[in-house]
Each structure stands twice: as structure tokens, then as C-alpha cells.
Structure 1
Amino acid sequence: RPGLVALAGGEALPGPLATELGSVVGRLFNVYGPTETTVWSTLAEPSPGEPVTIGRPLAATRAYVLDEHGGPVPDGLPGELHLGGAGVAHGYRGRPGLTARCFVPDPWGPPGSRMYRTGDLVRRLPDGRLEFAGRLDTQVKLRGHRIELGEIEARLAEHPGVAQVVVVLDPGEGEGAGESGQERLVAYPVGAPGGPEAPAADDLRAHLAR
């Protein structure tokens, strides 16, 4: 339907679904934003064959990719997305403590302005688009390395044969544990509609290594 414009939001848009939707509508937009910033804050128009991003900030919206100390993160590296601008709410009614944690001063905005800590990990691409990389609350530590499970899930979800995927930290105990008995990361993919149950493990490993 060439005259139809579709908006996808609320959850991460998998690449296969973006391709499927894009083939039946005139234009497809991926919109991102939490309730605390009046729902839509960024927008992207996915291109066939390219990874799906959440795009760039809408008008009157400021997007910052910051580290744990509140400093800007270099392009290409993951950091927490902070949103400022006209859409930022005043806070949570009757919850001053939570408001203070989530709505923080915006040092780059007008005097007195605040920004919202989304808890989402993103990276800024060289062209300015933002790429979703998971949630801060899915960070685990494995053999001394901090790992973002959401970042691995986002990469696996780009595989054309994967509809959904969950990655967890396996403690390496009990039935099904690895030979070494050590902690390991385990992915549970769901195959895309019309395809096999799920891609083979070696296929997914090769996809992650690219």
C-alpha cells in the first residue's frame, strides 16, 4: 500500500520485521521515547539491508550519550541515553526520591533545565543516528569483564533468521552446564516466521563475530 505510512514503537524493532513491514507500506518509521519525555523523542526511517536504529532527536529534543559519571561518550561507544528538551516531564507525582534519581540537571540546556535518564544503552554512529544497545539493568560481569546482555541480544536480533532472542548468564551448574563448569552466556533465539525453528549455534556465533 504505497500511500500508507506506518510507525513502529514501544519495543525494539527487529530487522526482519522492519523488512517485512517496509515491503507492504509506503514509508516506515521507527519511533523511540519513554513516557517521561512525552513518548516520542527520536525517529528513524529504516533502509533495507541496514541495521535498524532509533534515529535522531525530534525537534525541541536533545539527546546525550553519557558515561556513568555524566560525561559525554565518544561516538561508537555505548553509553546511557539522556533526553532533554521541551518534552521532559516535571517528575513522578508523589515520588520525590525517584524523581531526583531519574530527572537530573541538564548542563548543556538552558538554565534550570533537566534531562531524563532513560536507562537505555545506545551508541552514536558517525552520521549522528542513535543505535539501541540494550538496557543498563541487563549488565553482568563474566570473568572480570562487564558485559551488556542487551547489546548481544540486539546484535543477534539483526540476524534475518531470528525473530526474538534472550541472552542470560548461566551459572554453569546443574544439568546442561558447560564442560568446564564455569559461568557462560547462553542465547535462546526464536526463529523468524516461515523459517526453521532457529539458526544453528555456529551460524549465530559467526554472525556475532562479523
Structure 2
Amino acid sequence: VVFGTVLFGRMHGGSGADRAMGLFMNTLPVRLDVDGTGVGESVRRTHARLAELLTHEHAPLALAQRCSGVAAPAPLFGALLNYRHNTLAALQGAVGDDVPGGIEWLGAQERTNYPLSLSVEDCEEALGLTAQVSGPVSAERICGYMQHALEHLAELLERSPHTPVRELEILPAAERGYLLEELNRTEAAYPSERCIHELFEAQVRRAPEAVALVHENERLSYGELNARANRLAHHLIALGVRPDQPVGICVERSAAMVVGLLAILKAGGAYVPLDAAYPGARLRQILGEAAPRLVLADAAG
């Protein structure tokens, strides 16, 4: 994982006419290891790498690009992390009482050239997060991820520092529940007394011209798919396939695979899926245990 880090972003200011404000910052890439390393060791490594970067704090980004080995125009990194010393008043868009007369504060906006820019606001008495993102994910959501990850990181550092860093939780409980439970509420009532191929045939009667299957440049309507499956089913019956008899099928993912599965079901058999990518010993084991009467196969199978 490579992201950019802003080494220095402090705002300097005096008072009255002597006030001088400037943006003094530099951006250098940092590489993090998200492997089996424990969170404690990972934090120590990251701290050491950031400390080493201080010797390069004045190096231009163009030099970092050349040294990285990442060929232009590919970006060196796509996320920016900025640690800023600030004040609560500045974050809230306020100004001090020493603003010269005739100056009115209208507001301010930040912009970034990176898909993701995350700033840690160090106000001495408090810490905050500011995110700027482009795309469908909201900045509030990104901050929620970061807050949850930091809270979980602090908990692991205290209780279980050897936990692999890749197991660090980034999803808040509410969003985890939404993704795993709410979006997966796909229960539907189906007639339990009817088989899959019978439900398919009912759809054929309702909409025979509707597109049932698309594979690359091939498109089959429900009627066409049903006709192909019927022809193959009659052939299987003629070869001796009986109800509940296992029939192997070893074909590439294609329209022929779906035709074969439907045909086996229509003939009354039970299909035994065989993946041609499996080792030969595994395929022989499956065939030996299932003992199918027939195996449908294409060139790959």
C-alpha cells in the first residue's frame, strides 16, 4: 500500500502588519506492509519509515517519482495523508479579534488533486479528521472508516498487539450490518413442491421470447434455451439416464453448461459438477465416489 504523506503543513502567523502566512509542505510517498505483521510491529515500522523521511523533507516530488521506478504518467500514489497543527477556531472558519479593519471573512474551501485526501487536525486539546474525496463514497463515510479503524487499532495495541494488521476492522458496526445483512436479505418464497426445471419451464410459458442467457456474443431466449435442453434431455434418457441417477458435467462456462445442467434435471438425473481445472487425482476421486453413468464434456473436459 503506497500513499502520500505531507511532512509539514503548519501555518505561521504573527500579528497586525507583521502577519505572514504561508503553506510550507512537501509530499513524499510512504509504503506500508499489510501482510501478516502484528499491529504493534506495523506501527513501529511505520513510525521508523516516517522518521527516515524527514531527511528527505526538502526533496521535490519529481525526484521521488524518478526514484520510485513507477513510470509516468502513472501516479506515484492516489491518496494523501496530511497531519496539520491547527486551532478549533480555524477549523470552524472563525478568525481572531485582531483582524485589521475593513477585512470581512467570507469563507474558505479546500481542493485536492488526489482521489482521496485525509487530514488529521491536531488542535492540541483535540484531534479531528477532514476528508476530501472524489467518487461515490462520501467524505463522512471515509472519516467514519478512519475513526473506527483508529479505535480498533488502539484497542488491539493495548490488548492484542500481535494481531495481524490485515485483520484491523475498518467498517463501523452499523455499516457492516448493512452490507452483510440488509443487502443480503434475498429470501423469497418459492413453491417447494416444484423442481428447478419446472419453475424454468413455467417462465418459458410466460415469456418465451425474453432473453434468458447471454454469454459473450451469444444470446438465447427462454424458448431457445428450453428447446436445446429438451433435445439433450431426450438424448440422455435414450442413453439410460433414470431419476436421481448422477450424471457428470465437465464443460467450460458457456451457454452449453446451462443447457447441460437443465437437460440433466429434465431427464431426472442429478448433475455432478466437474471442473477441468481440478487436478487429475481430484477428478478421479469425484468420479469414483459419485459413479455417474455418463459424463457430459466439451474439449476442455
**TM-score scaled by length of structure 2:** 0.21
Structure with the higher helix share, 1 or 2:
2
Q: Relative CO higher for 1 or 2, CA cutoff 8 Å, sep ≥ 6?
A: 1
**TM-score scaled by length of structure 1:** 0.28
